Amino acid sequence: MKVFQRRKGNEGKMAKNSTKDMTVGSPMKLILGFSLPLLFGFLFQQFYSVIDTIIVGQFLGVDALAGVGATGSVNFMIVGFCMGVCNGFAIPVAHKFGAKDYSGMRQFVANSVWLSIAFASVMTVVVSILCRQILTWMRTPEDIFESAYIYILIIFIGIPATYLYNILSGVIRSMGDAKTPLVFLIISSVLNIGLDLLCIVTFRMGVAGAAIATVVSQLISGILCLLYMIKKFEILHITREEWRINTDHMRVLYSMGVPMGLQYSITAIGSVILQTAVNSLGSAAVASVTAAGKVSMFFCCPFDAMGSTMATYGGQNVGARKLDRLGKGLLSCSILGIVYSVLAFIVMFLLGDKLSQLFVSGDETAIIANAKLMLIVNSAFYIPLAFVNIVRFMIQGMGFSTFAILAGVFEMVARTLAGLVLVPKLGFMGVCFANPLAWIFADIFLFPAYIHVRRKLDKIMGNEQASPAG
């Protein structure tokens, strides 16, 4: 393959000019500088689903909105696995970049491409075949079943586009460039809005139009990442030799990617059980959760940006054997997370009903009231959510991806308890407390886990300058 065929050049110069080294300088300044472009990227990425939901809710009605919303948990379970795998694949790339081993970095990139092709092919076929049965298992209400099926089937068919964008943007971010994926997401988000209006309003394609717009937009953003990498990143121009399949590299990638993917999927199992409980409350409850969930997605983007930043920060500094910087970065990011959590709660408390009206008509007073209730309860526990993302992704960046599965198990157990116990007893209020319970359960595991892996790294590397607990 000649796509990334490497030309002769100064690799060190290219690394300096096109990427960001997070192993030197103020952790707070680095984390802010890296996470802000990521934040805008996540915000624009949410436009894919949020604009879909606004247009669906306003032009197609509450039933169509509930149909799209009913797929949220299973969508997270499958597509989240794809994203987790790609994030895991980027960790060895960050390690090699931090160690200045650019040939080894390119070999990991090449082998992650082969693995992504295999994963995407198998997953697309399997989940598309099982799609209808999954919705049946979830007891999706009959009046919204077909809308849910059409929407999620198209999203699943677009799994290769999900892999394309996430693997390429993950590689770019692992080398410290968080701005480039943002530019492409802005372009594709504008395109997504146009396609939504064209497919839903003009062509009257219903929820299928919303799904098609999402898939096409993500595909284009992935293609733009590919073209940019070919043109601008000299250190990513892979030779024919480096394109060869390396079983050792694949084992490392598999050990990093699959646990991170399973983290999302295992977490989502609890969400699927919870969604099943919500479905039993009727389509109005589903619509309330959908509206609140879409608002929450925007307000949770800073936590996602902090998590991705800490994965890159941790990966580069472990690769550079600068373990003393890990705790400093963790503290800096935690301060940012706490400050933002307080501000987000204030906004939710004052404007939760107004934000919910973006997705449903103002006449749906009961749906809006329930959505605001869920937003207030969830945002009151945003500080535990901040730590879930910051600590978990730091651990992953340090190279201990298997701990992601265990953190996901704790979240799964909490949401399962909420779905099986809280919702039947408390109704919609039980739904509101499901996520906070999951975040608290995860933190109970993650704090001692970080201390453990940090001490283990000190022992492995023999770094006498690092403090025992970071």
pLDDT (0 to 100) of residue 104: 93
Over 60: is that where the pLDDT of 453 sits? Answer: yes
pLDDT (0 to 100) of residue 306: 94
Higher pLDDT, 411 or 360: 411
Over 60: is that where the pLDDT of 154 sits? Answer: yes
pLDDT (0 to 100) of residue 49: 60
Over 50: is that where the pLDDT of 180 sits? Answer: yes
- Quick one: average pLDDT of 88-103? 89
pLDDT tens-digit series, residues 104-122: 999 999 999 999 999 999 9
Q: Mean of the per-residue pLDDT values for the chain?
A: 85
Tokens of 389: 């993302």
pLDDT tens-digit series, residues 219-244: 988 998 899 888 888 888 899 999 99
Most confident of 199-213, 226-240, 288-302, 374-388: 374-388
Q: Crossing angle for the helix pair 382-397 and 434-461, nearest 10 degrees?
A: 30
How would you class 321 by CB atoms within 10 Å of its CB: exposed for 0-12, middle for 13-18, buried for 19 or more?
Answer: middle
Over 50: is that where the pLDDT of 316 sits? Answer: yes
pLDDT (0 to 100) of residue 60: 84
Q: Side-chain half-sphere of 129: how many Cα atoms within 13 Å?
A: 6
Mapping DSSP onto H, E and C, the string for 246-284 reads: CHHHHHHHHHHHHHHHHHHHHHHHHHHHHHHHHHCCCHH
Lowest mean pLDDT among 60-69, 212-221, 451-460: 60-69
Rg over CA atoms, the chain = 22
Query: Which SS3 state, helix, strand or coil, does residue 326 take?
Result: helix
* pTM, 2 dp: 0.71
pLDDT (0 to 100) of residue 52: 65
pLDDT (0 to 100) of residue 8: 42
pLDDT (0 to 100) of residue 109: 94
Closest to 311 (Cα-Cα) out of 399, 439, 406:
399
| CB count in 10 Å sphere of residue 427 | 14
Over 90: is that where the pLDDT of 48 sits? Answer: no
pLDDT tens-digit series, residues 53-94: 678 877 888 788 778 877 877 888 888 899 889 988 988 998
Over 80: is that where the pLDDT of 18 sits? Answer: no
Backbone angles phi, psi at 246, to 5 degrees: -120, 110
Binning pLDDT at 50, 70 and 90, where does residue 3 land? very low
Contact 218, 157 (CB under 8 A): no
pLDDT (0 to 100) of residue 267: 73
Percent of the chain with pLDDT over 90: 41
Binning pLDDT at 50, 70 and 90, where does residue 464 land? very low
Tell me which residue has tokens 């509206």. Answer: 291
Over 60: is that where the pLDDT of 431 sits? Answer: yes
pLDDT (0 to 100) of residue 470: 45
pLDDT (0 to 100) of residue 283: 82
Closest to 461 (Cα-Cα) out of 399, 393, 403:
399
Over 90: is that where the pLDDT of 376 sits? Answer: yes
